[in-house]
Amino acid sequence: MKKNFVRVMLFGALTLATVTYVGCKDYDDDIDNLQTQIDANAAGLAELQAKVNAGNWVTDIKSITGGFEITFNNGNKYSIVNGKDGSVVEIGENGNWFIDGVDTGKPARGEKGETGATGPVGPVGPEGPAGPAGKSPFIGDGTGEFEKDYWYFYDDATDKWVKGDYSSATVYAVQNEGLPSFTLHVKDKTTGTELTTILPTAALISSLEGVTIENGKITAGGTKELKLSYAQCKADFTFGMEDEKKEFKKNDLLITNSGVLNALINPVGPDFTDSKYQIYLMNSQNEANFVISKIEQNKTAKPLTRATEAKVNRGVYDLTVTLKDGLNLETALPADEAYAFCTKDAWNNEIISAYDVKIKPEAVTSATKLVDAAVSAKVGEVQVLDDLAAAATTTPMDLSTVYAYYYKLAADAPEGVTLGTNEAGKQTITSTKGQEAKVEVCYITTNGIPFDGETHEGIDYSSVGGSSAPAKLTVTFKQIETKSLAAQTVVWNKSEKSDIAVSAANIKAIKDAITTAKLASSTATANDGDKVKFSGIASGDTKYDNLKLTVTAAYKGTMEAVLTVDVDATKQIVFKLPVTVDYKTPVFTKTSGMWTEDGKVSLLINETKNADKIQSISLEREMGSIFTTWNAITGGVTSGIYNSITYDVDKNGDDHVGSVANDKFTVDMAHAKDNMAFSVDVNCQPNDATEPASIANQKIQFISLSELLKSEFGATDAKKGITTAYTAETIDSEIDVLGDIVWKDRKGKAMWPTADNNTYDTGTLTTADAVLALYGYSIKVERSDKTNFKFDSTGQKLILTDAGKALKGLVKDLVVTVTITPSISWSATSPAPVVKTVTFPTALFAD
């Protein structure tokens, strides 16, 4: 196994310096206070390992003066400083090992890129904890072929250890490639004994599970089937730019796509995206022709269900899967079989899922060739060729449909045209003057056929056009001018949306820039994506005389309408006209006398009567009585100036407090509130866009019902008040417990316990409770003893039941409590309850 050193490794006498406290946990106390020198002995390393095993892992190692600083996941930092012989070893930009800033000339990574044959691993002291083996640089101890106190570097090219410079280092840390850990080495210079301990660099993965995510639903039991496409090279050939040619062999497999599978990784707390874990695929024979090239946290706009600005779904990851490079059809044809997700922990222990990862390779036997295309570019600007190919004005080149491609200038390319490569590695093109240049797009189809203009023996081109000719991208470089036109305002009107004239001054500016001689031959194009775009382009010398501006989508604000005019083959003018889209704004003029000083409207109490007696009421208000301009607003909808009027009515719980119909708001007394309001929106929807846009809004707040429906609950005679205690004189006594209480309406008329029959139609409203209900009022009368007491037929007087009268020989007075509770459904507060007691003395029940 190849390993890379941690970016900075330190050698020398190991000491643990002062700890900087960032976080705190009980199991960290000992390690936080460890100040004594850690000598090269097993006990010291075992103690450090034990503290880490308690739950910490390393998140960072960086160079400091005289040593290096280790940061753990809980934020605690530990400074390990060296002795006088300390050396700093790091990988330089050229890929070689550097010791104290000096290039050793020894590569940190072999050119082959694959693991070589197993070689010696360096001297090892007494047996320590199990850990990963590898081919990291080490210091010889004089045993065997390894000379004492000299560095040894593994050479992948020769599969041998190579001697380096002398070193007196006694401690170093190595990052274990492919594992979430590094190994700390401590060497005793006297005995030559080397001890190691492994320090994890990530949380421990406890389990892997393949899952399926479809339509926001996650299911266990394996992944969905992933189809991966591959092609077979038809013959040996080389392909690529002159300095980057690559050899392809007959029957080599070309990977033509990748795909994503999903896994659930436990524990769900840590983020394993950037950890040192490497997740891979294996079949039951420990083989796989697939690799996982990327791991990312799964994100969705809505939570995943087991039945339904995207958020991370805890524990769920997207794993990008592709075929291995370098596979050959003769030796490694991908098999359609089940695989498992695998990884290794810090100690090289393998963690594996069930064999329910489903991958199905599919061979590509045919593919579509690229089609020649043409595009315009600006003189003097560096253009990315990929962008030009995608923006071709004929048929855009879809380069995602080919396996590989590159660009080169055609043999007849004019002077002044240059190809280059930008910092992102993309090929570019530029020209010093207006002219046409042909660029050859060389490519390999997804079924493995190269089209680069070269002769390739063994490949039959007869069925694909007869030659290996590349595609042509014709780039016309033009002098491009940008001219600004005078701003215009569009007042949107549904019936006039396609008939907004470009001003005469702007039309003159366009024609003057093009010149009279070029008017007929020029070509003009409007930007289809503009929300307001040019239209009315004609032909001949009058091509620009009747230009229009068309509102194409729901929009309110300022933008630029763009008209691109190709004056000739090498000159282009881009006209930009700033357009402010506005609407004929409806005006809400408040009716004088309808609104209070604090901006509220009174509801109208509409009474339905029989003669002069009330039978029912409704609370409502006509929109036309609230606004004097209401008819003009509704007329705007009818005439097409506006699209619609909508209302947002307050709710009481899940139900609206009322509704608007036929330009009138009516309260629903069953869901009314003390303070109610609603908003009215006037909407426009240009070009029948999916969503309307509100262009005017007015909120209407109503006077509270407490103020509108003022009522009085209390004593019938204020001077006498309410009697709260009664004593019966005979066993047949009728106690009038309600006669001294009254609930009056806003006009002072009795509603309860007996409704005023001159005000209310008691033939229709047969009970006082029915009258209360008109206004959202109610009263509950409760007695504490329902066995011995009841109300008479009037509902006001309390009497004994037959059972009560039959009682004999009582030793205690018979007492009942009557509670009268008034309630207002739409109010948070109601009148206070009245509690009365009625006593029937024991003497009334004598034998």
pLDDT band at 356, cuts 50/70/90? confident
Average pLDDT, the chain: 81
The secondary element (H helix, E strand) that includes residue 479 is strand 471-484
Over range 461-466, report the average pLDDT: 88
Q: Residue 549 pLDDT more than 70?
A: yes
Q: Residue 4 pLDDT more than 60?
A: no
Q: Residue 29 pLDDT more than 50?
A: no
- What are the domain boundaries of the chain? 4-200, 207-363, 373-480, 485-583, 600-708, 712-845
Asked, colleague to colleague, whether 373-480 and 712-845 share their fold, the answer is yes
Supply the DSSP symbol for 723: -
pLDDT band at 31, cuts 50/70/90? very low
What is the pLDDT, as a whole number, of residue 748? 96
Q: Residue 28 pLDDT more than 90?
A: no
CA distance linking residue 598 with residue 621, whole number of Å: 18
Q: Which residue has the higher pLDDT, 309 or 735?
A: 735
Q: Could you tell me how far CA 262 lies from the centroid of its own chain? A: 18
The answer to whether the CB of 326 falls within 8 A of the CB of 246 is no
Do β-strands 435-445 and 471-484 pair in parallel, antiparallel, or remain unpaired? antiparallel
What is the pLDDT, as a whole number, of residue 92? 61
Over range 10-28, report the average pLDDT: 35
CA distances from 452 to 127, 439, 448, 469, 473 (A): 60, 12, 13, 6, 14
Helices (H), 16-174: 29-32, 42-53
Q: Residue 25 pLDDT more than 80?
A: no
Which positions ≥6 away from 223 have C-beta within 8 Å?
210, 211, 212, 261, 262, 263, 356, 357, 358
CA distance linking residue 779 with residue 768, whole number of Å: 10
Q: How many CA atoms lie within 13 A of 5 on its CB side?
A: 26
Which positions ≥6 away from 528 have C-beta within 8 Å?
none
* Backbone phi and psi for residue 273, each to the nearest 5 degrees, phi listed first: -60, -50
CA distance linking residue 303 with residue 315, whole number of Å: 13
Confirm whether pTM is higher than 0.75.
no
What is the pLDDT, as a whole number, of residue 51? 66
pLDDT band at 123, cuts 50/70/90? very low
Please give the structure tokens belonging to residue 292: 């996982």
Q: Residue 76 pLDDT more than 80?
A: no
Over range 174-190, report the average pLDDT: 70
CA distance linking residue 736 with residue 527, whole number of Å: 87
Please give the structure tokens belonging to residue 721: 């008040």
CA distance linking residue 60 with residue 427, whole number of Å: 37
373-480 is classed in which CATH architecture?
A: Sandwich (2.60)
Which amino acid appears at position 512 of this protein?
A: D
Q: What does the pLDDT look like over 273-290, one tens digit per residue?
A: 766 778 888 887 777 777
Over range 743-769, report the average pLDDT: 95
For 485-583, CATH number?
A: 2.60.40.1080
Strand ordering across the sheet containing 150-155:
138-139, 150-155, 160-166
Q: Residue 314 pLDDT more than 60?
A: yes
pLDDT band at 336, cuts 50/70/90? low
pLDDT band at 90, cuts 50/70/90? low
Q: Which residue has the higher pLDDT, 689 or 223?
A: 223
Which positions ≥6 away from 354 have C-beta within 8 Å?
209, 210, 222, 340
Q: What does the pLDDT look like over 235-283, one tens digit per residue?
A: 999 999 988 888 888 888 887 667 788 888 887 767 777 667 788 888 8
Q: Which CATH class is domain 712-845?
A: mainly beta
Which positions ≥6 away from 809 have C-beta within 8 Å?
845, 846, 847
Q: What does the pLDDT look like over 589-645, one tens digit per residue?
A: 999 999 999 999 999 999 999 999 999 999 999 999 999 999 999 998 888 788 899
Over range 35-62, report the average pLDDT: 61
Q: Residue 499 pLDDT more than 60?
A: yes
Highest mean pLDDT among 80-89, 96-105, 316-325, 626-635: 626-635
756: left (phi over 0), alpha (psi -120 to 50) or beta: beta
CA distance linking residue 438 with residue 475, whole number of Å: 6
Q: ∠ CA(383), CA(384), CA(387), 5° rounding?
A: 110
The radius of gyration of the chain's CA atoms, rounded to the nearest angstrom, is: 44
Identify the three-state secondary structure at position 424: coil
pLDDT band at 791, cuts 50/70/90? very high
Please give the structure tokens belonging to residue 524: 């003009």
Beta strands in 653-734 (DSSP E): 655-656, 658-661, 664-667, 677-684, 693-702, 712-715, 725-727
What is the pLDDT, as a whole number, of residue 273? 75
What is the pLDDT, as a whole number, of residue 302? 54
